[in-house]
Amino acid sequence: MPGVFDRLNKEIQDKQQEGGITPLDLAGLPPALRKIMRLMLRELQMAYPGLCEAVDAMPEADRLSRDDLQDALSTLTQQAWLIRIGDGEKAIYKVNLRRKEGSKLAAGIWSSLDEKLKRNPKDE
């Protein structure tokens, strides 16, 4: 029977299928949002108190007020660039990157490449 961790993990994975941010989008974000996203990229997931602590530890010029942090988190979750599990102080945030699409080359090219490679004994 799946435990709490498994259920949360599944919830996160389901939400991660919905959109997400591309690495190029990161460059176009306003500075406050970009700071949060860079932090989240490194930490992978953070609870709200941990985020507050990390923001407080930033150099003074980069520091966000609690209101600015809340606004930033709200914008990022609305866009599905961050996923939020839970609410308020207990909320956990996780970064959501958009999957890189596979090549648009005609499927036939890939299947014939696969066939060719299958015949190569080095690849067996």
- Contacting positions for another protein (CB under 8 A): 16, 20, 22-24, 26-28, 31, 34-35, 37-38, 41-44, 95-103, 105, 110, 113-114, 117-118, 120, 122-123
Positive or negative, the Cα torsion across 100, 10, 15, 81?
negative
Least distance between another protein and beta carbon 6 (Å)? 15
DSSP state of 83: E
Q: 88 or 106: whose CB is closer to another protein? A: 106
Alpha carbon 23 to chain centroid, angstroms: 10
End-to-end CA distance of the chain: 38
Least distance between another protein and beta carbon 67 (Å)? 22
Task: For residue 15, give both structure tokens.
Answer: 């939400």
Least distance between another protein and beta carbon 64 (Å)? 14
